[in-house]
Chains A and B, each alone.
Chain A
Amino acid sequence: MFLLLFMLLSPHRDSENVNLASFERVWQIIQEKHWDLAATGVDWNQIHTEYLPRAQKAKSHGEMREIIEEMIGRLGQTHFGLLGGQSFSSIDNLKYEAKAGASELGWEVRRVGDGIFVTRIDPQGEAYEKGVRLGSQILQIGPVKAEQILTAVDAAYANSHQRGLYTVRTLNEFVHHSVGSSITYQILLPGQDQPSSIAFDNAKSIQLTSYFPNMPPMHYQFEKKLIEDKWAYVTFNLFLQPLIQDFPNALSSMPENQGLIIDLRGNPGGLGWLANGIAGYLIAERGQKLGTMQAKEGTLNFFIAPRPNRYEKPVAILIDEASASTSEILAQGLKDLKRARIFGTNSAGAALPSFIETLPNGDRFQYAFGNYTSIGGVEIEGKGVAPDETTPHTLTSMSHSHDATLDAAVTWLKTQTIR
Chain B
Amino acid sequence: MQYLFPILVGFLFNCSATQTPKPVAPSAQKSGPNVEDILDRAAAARLEGINQEDLKTVAMKGVIQMPQGMTAQFQALAKDGSKYNLSTEVAGMKVELISDGKDVYENNPMIGPRLLQGEELAYNLNEANFKRDINWRQNYTSYQLLGEESINGRSAYKILLTTKEGFEVTNFYDKENYQVLRADMVVKGEMGTIPTIMYFSNYENVNGLVMPKTTTTEVMSHKMVMQVQEVTVNGEIPDESFSIPAEMKQ
Contacts and interface: CB of A to CB of B under 8 A. Distances in A.
Given A33-B221, A277-B110, A297-B221, A355 B190 contact: no
A300 B68 contact: no
B112 A307 contact: yes
A155 interface: no
A271 interface: yes
A271 B95 CA distance: 15
A332 interface: no
Given A214-B69, A355-B67, A296 B91 contact: no
Nearest to A301: B192
Contact of A297 (B69, B109, B220): B220
B111 A276 contact: yes
Interface in B68-110: 68-71, 91-93, 108-110
A203 B3 CA distance: 40
A276 B110 contact: yes
A280 B71 contact: no
Contacts of A308: 113, 247
B221 A303 contact: no
B28 interface: no
Given A244-B110, A355-B68, A369-B220, A301 B91 contact: no
B220 A300 contact: yes
Interface string B1-28: 0110000000000000000000000000
Contact of B3 (A33, A289, A300): A300
A241 B247 contact: no
Contact of B68 (A212, A273, A274): A212
A32 interface: yes
Interface in A293-319: 293, 295-301, 303, 305-308
A277 B193 contact: no
Nearest to A33: B221
Interface in B23-67: 67
Contacts of A287: 190
Contacts of B222: 355, 369
B110 A299 contact: no
A287 B114 CA distance: 11
7 contacts: A213-B70, A274-B110, A289-B190, A301-B190, A301-B191, A305-B113, A355-B68
Interface of A: 32-33, 211-215, 241, 244, 271, 273-274, 276-277, 280, 286-287, 289, 292-293, 295-301, 303, 305-308, 355-356, 369-370
Given A213-B69, A273-B111, A298-B219, 7 more contacts: A213-B91, A241-B91, A277-B112, A298-B195, A299-B194, A300-B191, A305-B190
